[in-house]
Amino acid sequence: MKKTGKQTHTHANVSQLLAELQRLRERVSSLETRENQNRQASELLQIFSMNSPVGLFIVQDRRFLFANKEFERLLGVPVQDLKGTYSLAPVHPADKEMVRQAATRMLKGEAIGPYTYRVYNKGHRVRWVMEGVVSVQYQGKRAALGHSLDITDRVVAEQ
């Protein structure tokens, strides 16, 4: 049986469609793999941050967006109550300007080493913290990722 031009053209279209279908299947498989890897990484990050012995937080536009349980313990404020609050609110008045300047320098790209300052916890007790912050992109905007360590016992012992 002799193939006509129309049959050859249809056969070529079917072959192209099958090849495209295979490429789409491979792409979907790749996206599913990447989504699974992202989900696993996110879960590990969540486990790490919530079980860290160091207080972790994210500040954006001068407001807390995220804090872990250790940061909650340090300030004595539940994480859900901390979200959205002004980031310098717990800082001792005498230390606010120094902390603000450190954050400004960090957001401008300067390397900022750990620094110490005082905070008031929920019980209005002064706690000393050693903190470090780095600039990160979070939800498409610049933010500060910080880590705080309660050093009150060490400072009191030194005094």
pLDDT in tens, the chain (159 residues): 455 556 666 777 888 888 888 888 888 888 888 887 777 777 777 787 778 889 999 999 999 999 999 999 999 999 899 999 999 999 999 999 999 999 888 888 888 889 999 999 888 899 999 999 999 988 899 999 999 999 998 998 998
Q: How many Å apart are CA 35 and CA 57, to the nearest integer?
A: 25
Q: Which residues of 56-95 are buried (b: 16+ CB within 10 A; e: fewer)?
A: bbbbbeeebbbbbebbbebbebebeebeeeebbebbeeeb
